[in-house]
Amino acid sequence: MLEEMNALRNVETPRASSATSGGEKSDSRGGRSSFGGRGGAFRDGERRERRGYHEDEEEEKRPKRRTPAALVRPVNFDFDDPDDQGLSRNDFLTLVTEYDETLKDFDEGEIVHGTIVGIGENEVLVDIGFKSEGAIPIAEFVDVDALKVGDEFDVYLEKMENQDGLIVLSKTRADFLKVWDRIKLAYDNQETVFGQVDRRIKGGLVAKLYGVDAFLPGSQVALRQVPNLDALIGEKLEFRIIKLNKRRRNIVVSRRVVLEEERAKQKSKIISELEKNQIRKGIVKNITDFGAFVDLGGIDGLLHLTDLSWGRVQHPSEVVQIGQELEVKVLDFDRERERISLGLKQLQPYPWKEVEAKYPIGTKVKGKVVSITDYGAFIELERGVEGLIHISEMSWTKHVRHPSKILNVGDPIDALVLKIDPENEKISLGLKQTEPDPWETLVEKYPPETVLEGKVRNLTNFGAFVEIEEGIDGLVHISDMSWTKRVRHPSEVVKKGDIVTVKVLEVNRENRRISLGVKQTMDDPWDDLAQEYLVGTVLEGVVERLLDRGIVVELRQGVEGFVPVSHLLPDDIKKPAEYFGVGDRVPLKVIKMDPANRRIVLSVRAYMDDATAEDLSAFNSKFGTKRPLPPEPDPETKRARREVDDLDADLEEV
């Protein structure tokens, strides 16, 4: 019967016939059944959802349209078979009138109680006690699966009738308006409210506050960035309402404001209590290259890299991790600037306290290479105790250019304790001392006058280093390379990599030096040269070097002589390079032979004293005119020449 009455009420009323009294036209509008209008209600719900359920406040202030208690209009109802209906036409209309009188009066904009009568794919139909049901978009319900027919709740009546004949309802707006006064009061008084994190959305979280949604931005979740917001879902937290918009039904909350206030209170308390040398608990808040910041409960302190451990620490992350709880010692506190210096190693035993007893001098110890520098390698004996192996203490025989040629970081090694300085936290270690010293037996192995072969390993300006066995080098000085020639650089006689025959001249165990000679492996030719180049001998020499105090000439291969500037012509000569050039052939006479000092002194002037006029004219035509000076040599060449000139300095006396 109820269905029939509803159908009757929703049937479209035909126009009144011309015979109707007063000639009035019927203005009644019918509608479709509750579920028959579902598609239209959904479309209307979609439109309301797109505009965010926003409604102008002016519209809310408009006078509410009063709905009649019963919308009964005359109906022309023709029964095909009145007997089949069970009621007469008048009785049926009476029943309809009585049913409409039972319907409630409603105003748009009020909150009413409703019951779910149907659940569709896109909307929920709710009976509020009116002639037609109302539709609520399914999107307004968080847990759709939990909905069932018969559930009761309050809804907000937005519109009495939409284009499909359905009442427009909203559950979210009803929930919002029911708690608006409480939310507004908390916002005005800056009160702390409780809410539960419901879900995550773009930009933050949604929290349930008195049953309605409130937005919690990601930046307002905590004092620091939270890496995983999903972990907070379901948590009950304290919030502060920081923004409200009733028309848009927007609520923005912050947890950070609450935490900052709590932190400020804790900070004031800690600052008043904090003193130097206190031991406090804290949580590692942040890690940098130079240390870690520890939250003491409202104020941060710096745990510097050097105060993390007595041992070597390359980065704070080797000792502490973010979020780790620590006990630290207050090393220093600047109350005005609120700066706190903390220490972790100060709570551990000082490792250098008993170091002299644990590592006596001369003891062989084990350690690990932890660092390598240009001057040596640092060895960790235990956590916080390191010793240095200087580069000079790495090998008895090898010329170590860099410690990395011998050791690598991480290598386990044995070393000998050479020296301990506990006050300055220094231990000197030796690597070569763990092996026998080959220099102890070198004198017996290579006594002076021993002739042997070696490989030229390196050349310097003053000589050549020759390796006589692995790791053992001897020096051949340039003065020991030739009997007759003044060698300016060892490359004039030998080359790197040459195999040469040398004689041991001296072994100095204390200074670890071996002197070798090349010329000593040959007979001394000066006894024969003294007979060959007697004083007064006339000969020709080739200019080999030009010096400020004279010229060096080659008399024959391997035999040199010196002509002082005072024995050159012309008379006013100051610089030999202005008149002579390397390679010039010059007439000479021997004026001094000194076999003991291995010198031959010659003179152009003495030669010309006995020369003919033609010889003198020929000499003057060739050497009597000044020449352009040659370009200045590079600094290295000048230095080498200066060393050779110093060897000949005593010739100025001639």
What the block records as the tokens of 172 is: 């979210």
Per-residue pLDDT at 95: 67
Per-residue pLDDT at 384: 86
Q: Residue 68: pLDDT above 60?
A: no
Per-residue pLDDT at 44: 42
Per-residue pLDDT at 437: 81
Largest CA distance in the chain: 178
Those residues whose C-beta lies under 8 Å from the C-beta of residue 8, and which sit 6 or more positions away, are: 75, 77, 92, 96
Give the pLDDT mean for 307-325. Answer: 88
Those residues whose C-beta lies under 8 Å from the C-beta of residue 36, and which sit 6 or more positions away, are: none
Predicted confidence band of residue 633 (pLDDT cuts 50, 70, 90): low
As assigned by CATH, the class of the 526-653 domain is mainly beta
Sign of CA dihedral 382, 388, 389, 391: positive
Per-residue pLDDT at 274: 82
Give the pLDDT mean for 62-81. Answer: 42
Tell me if residue 83 falls in helix, strand or coil. Answer: helix
Q: Residue 333: pLDDT above 70?
A: yes
- Compute and round to an integer the Cα radius of gyration of the chain: 56
Give the pLDDT mean for 10-39. Answer: 36
Per-residue pLDDT at 528: 80
Give the pLDDT mean for 605-633. Answer: 82
What the block records as the tokens of 153 is: 């709740």
The type of residue at 170 is S
Per-residue pLDDT at 18: 34
190-259 adopts what CATH topology? OB fold (Dihydrolipoamide Acetyltransferase, E2P) (2.40.50)
Q: Which residue has the higher pLDDT, 16 or 324?
A: 324
Give the pLDDT mean for 39-48. Answer: 39
Q: Which residue has the higher pLDDT, 635 or 319?
A: 319
Predicted confidence band of residue 632 (pLDDT cuts 50, 70, 90): low
Per-residue pLDDT at 111: 77
Per-residue pLDDT at 50: 37
As assigned by CATH, the class of the 355-434 domain is mainly beta
What the block records as the tokens of 235 is: 């948590």
From residue 438, how far is each of 416, 441, 444, 467, 512 by CA, in Å?
17, 6, 11, 14, 10
From residue 496, how far is each of 200, 459, 491 by CA, in Å?
77, 7, 8
Q: Rounded distance, CA 215 to CA 330, Å?
A: 41
End-to-end CA distance of the chain: 153
Per-residue pLDDT at 92: 66
What is the full DSSP assignment across 138-177? GGG-S-GGG--TT-EEEEEEEES--TTSPEEEEHHHHHHH
Lowest mean pLDDT segment, chosen from 20-24, 200-204, 414-418: 20-24
Sign of CA dihedral 93, 95, 98, 104: negative
Per-residue pLDDT at 51: 40
Lowest mean pLDDT segment, chosen from 535-549, 611-625, 633-647: 633-647
Per-residue pLDDT at 651: 36
Those residues whose C-beta lies under 8 Å from the C-beta of residue 436, and which sit 6 or more positions away, are: none
Q: Rounded distance, CA 241 to CA 612, Å?
A: 124
Q: Rounded distance, CA 370 to CA 378, Å?
A: 6
Lowest mean pLDDT segment, chosen from 152-156, 511-515, 545-549: 152-156
Q: Where are the domains of the chain?
A: 32-172, 190-259, 274-347, 355-434, 438-521, 526-653
Lowest mean pLDDT segment, chosen from 47-56, 204-213, 479-488: 47-56
Q: Rounded distance, CA 39 to CA 53, Å?
A: 19
Report the DSSP beta bridge partners of residue 278: none
Those residues whose C-beta lies under 8 Å from the C-beta of residue 138, and which sit 6 or more positions away, are: 120, 121, 122, 123, 124, 144
Give the pLDDT mean for 211-228. Answer: 86
**pLDDT tens digits along 142-186:** 778 888 888 888 888 877 777 676 788 888 788 777 778 788 888
Give the pLDDT mean for 580-595. Answer: 91
The type of residue at 354 is E
Q: What angle do CA 599, 602, 607 make, to 5 degrees?
A: 160
Cβ-contact 424, 388 below 8 angstroms: no
Per-residue pLDDT at 492: 86
32-172 adopts what CATH topology? OB fold (Dihydrolipoamide Acetyltransferase, E2P) (2.40.50)
**Residues 195-199: contacts with CB under 8 Å, at least 24 apart:** 195/236, 195/237, 195/239, 195/253, 196/234, 196/235, 196/236, 196/237, 197/232, 197/233, 197/234, 197/235, 197/237, 198/142, 198/233, 199/233
Give the pLDDT mean for 432-443. Answer: 84
Q: Rounded distance, CA 153 to CA 142, Å?
A: 14
Give the pLDDT mean for 553-566. Answer: 88
The type of residue at 277 is N
Tell me if residue 317 falls in helix, strand or coil. Answer: helix
Q: Residue 564: pLDDT above 80?
A: yes
CA dihedral 534, 537, 541, 547 (to 10 degrees): 70
Q: Rounded distance, CA 539 to CA 583, Å?
A: 16
Helix ranges restricted to H, 423-565: 442-445, 526-532
Per-residue pLDDT at 375: 92
> What's the CATH number for 438-521?
2.40.50.140
Report the DSSP beta bridge partners of residue 205: 200, 216
Q: Which residue has the higher pLDDT, 325 or 44?
A: 325
State the chain's mean pLDDT as an integer: 79
Per-residue pLDDT at 588: 93
Q: Residue 509: pLDDT above 70?
A: yes
Q: Rounded distance, CA 470 to CA 399, Å?
A: 11
Lowest mean pLDDT segment, chosen from 85-89, 219-223, 484-488: 85-89
Q: What proportion of the chain, given as a percentage, has pLDDT over 90?
A: 22
Give the pLDDT mean for 448-471. Answer: 90
- Convert 476-485 to b/e letters by CB count within 10 Å (16 or more is b): bbbebbbbbb
Give the pLDDT mean for 638-645. Answer: 55
Q: Of 424, 498, 413, which is closest to residue 458 (Cα–Cα)?
A: 498
Per-residue pLDDT at 590: 92
Q: Of 114, 164, 101, 103, which is closest to residue 140 (Cα–Cα)?
A: 114
Query: Are both 32-172 and 190-259 of the same fold?
Result: yes
Give the pLDDT mean for 261-276. Answer: 81
Lowest mean pLDDT segment, chosen from 57-71, 134-148, 487-501: 57-71
> What's the CATH number for 274-347?
2.40.50.140
**Residues 19-26: contacts with CB under 8 Å, at least 24 apart:** 26/73, 26/74
Per-residue pLDDT at 645: 53
Q: Residue 434: pLDDT above 70?
A: yes
Per-residue pLDDT at 20: 33
Q: Residue 36: pLDDT above 50?
A: no
Tell me if residue 132 falls in helix, strand or coil. Answer: coil
Those residues whose C-beta lies under 8 Å from the C-beta of residue 568, and which sit 6 or more positions away, are: 550, 551, 576, 579, 580, 604, 605
Per-residue pLDDT at 312: 82
Per-residue pLDDT at 277: 86
Q: Of 449, 560, 448, which is closest to residue 509 (Cα–Cα)?
A: 448
**pLDDT tens digits along 87-142:** 666 766 666 665 555 555 666 767 788 888 888 888 888 888 777 788 888 887 87
Helix ranges restricted to H, 408-465: 442-445
Q: Write the burial class of residue 307 (CB in 10 Å: 0-12 exposed, 13-18 middle, 19+ buried).
A: buried
- Convert 528-557 to b/e letters by CB count within 10 Å (16 or more is b): ebeeebeeeeebebebbbbbeebbbbbbee
Q: What proportion of the chain, given as a percentage, has pLDDT over 70?
A: 79
The type of residue at 596 is A
Phi-psi region of 599 (alpha: psi -120 to 50; beta: other; left: phi over 0): beta
Give the pLDDT mean for 310-318. Answer: 86
Highest mean pLDDT: which range of 59-63, 495-499, 608-612? 495-499
Give the pLDDT mean for 290-313. Answer: 87
Per-residue pLDDT at 58: 41
| Token pair 């051949």 in the structure block, residue | 476
